[in-house]
Amino acid sequence: MAQALGTEHRELRLTPETFRRELPEALASLDQPTFDGITPGSSAAPCGRAGLTVALAGTGGDELFGGYHSFRDVPWAARWSRRLCAFPPGLLRQAANALTRAATSRASVPPQTRWGKLGDALAARGGLLDTYQVSYALFSSDFARELLKRGMNGELHMGLPSQTARELNELIAGRPAAAGDLHARAVVFPRGAPAPRHRCGEHGELAGGEVPFLDHEVVSAASALPEEERFEPLGKKRVLRELALGDLDPALFDRPKSGFVLPIDEWSRRALRDEMSADLGDRGILRAGRTGRAGRRTALACIPGPCPGLYWSRIWAIYVLGWWCRAHRVGIR
């Protein structure tokens, strides 16, 4: 990870040792449990040692200007689900399960990938919000039931509080598909995103992780743009390109989208294998997290090595949830 400080360039090298040493501080900085953005490299400690007082993040840019492929994919899936509404839900589930088994025959666990959620996508019956929730769910509804001791809470609709789901459906009703996905993201993500309590140790309090795209004035200005100007072509964020291009080489904006990926799975297996195995098998953690044994046993079996069909991020999410519940002495209703 590179940081430019004035005219000085510094590099902060992340290693498995750094990961293991600073993980407790990174986890403790979370107000809510999350599997994303909690690596020690994203915690405030390295920033403080580098002399940084403010961290800028681009959160909201893709949501406001249609930068994700899902702005196209989710409405496409919703349209296909709507076309199949004439078939009984049970029949659609059976067909989806058959296709999933054929497509993931090598998977050693029930797949939690796109194929594994095909039945849930069809069950959305063409609802844009429901299809969006299925697309971004960590687990299929079947596996989620294995993870929970009790049945799915009746107060939830597709993972959202029922009142929130009703408000979002009213908000996106009648709007173009891209804008509907936008509003689902713009409202759901900021509500659910954790707010790290950054500290820089001897350097004092970090001023914060600024997210300028989520400033209310930026959101209002973006919302006032004609939707064709704001979104088209999908995935290109043309408005931002035109505003920021200036004298920069256009090739900088034409590169394929790439994420900032760290080998968390390899580092976790190397540094936390025994600890994660103990936590996932601990009945006390099971009670604290209100999670069921069947799902945890599946995750436990995947710790020694990769399990086709179950991304490491899903196992990591269960571990972080258990850690957070234990640290804060809370459970899940």
Distance from chain centroid for Cα 101: 26
pLDDT score of 170: 87
Phi, psi of 272 (to 5 degrees): -120, 10
In a domain, 258, yes or no: no
74 shares a domain with 7: no
CB–CB of 181/71 below 8 Å?
yes
Going by pLDDT thresholds of 50, 70 and 90, the confidence category of residue 13 is confident
Same domain, 87 and 111: yes
Give the domain-ending residue among 179, 211, 241.
Answer: 241
Give domain status of residue 3, yes or no: yes
Burial of 113 (0-12, 13-18, 19+ CB in 10 A): middle
pLDDT for the residue 301: 74
Model confidence pLDDT, tens digit, residues 177-190: 777 777 777 777 66
Q: Which domain holds residue 317?
A: 1-52+263-333
Q: How many domains does the chain have?
A: 2
Q: Cα–Cα–Cα angle for 78, 79, 84, nearest 5°?
A: 95
209, β-bridge pairs: 55
> In this structure, are residues 95 and 259 in contact, taking their beta carbons and an 8 Å threshold?
no
Of 188, 211, 241, which residue is a domain's last?
241
144 and 205 both lie in a single domain: yes
Domain shared by 30 and 150, yes or no: no
Global pTM value: 0.78
Question: What is the rounded distance in angstroms from the CA atom of residue 47 to the CA atom of residue 200?
Answer: 7
Same domain, 100 and 236: yes
Same domain, 200 and 325: no
Is the model's pLDDT at 61 over the cut of 60? yes
Q: How many CB atoms lie within 10 A of CB 17?
A: 10
Same domain, 201 and 186: yes
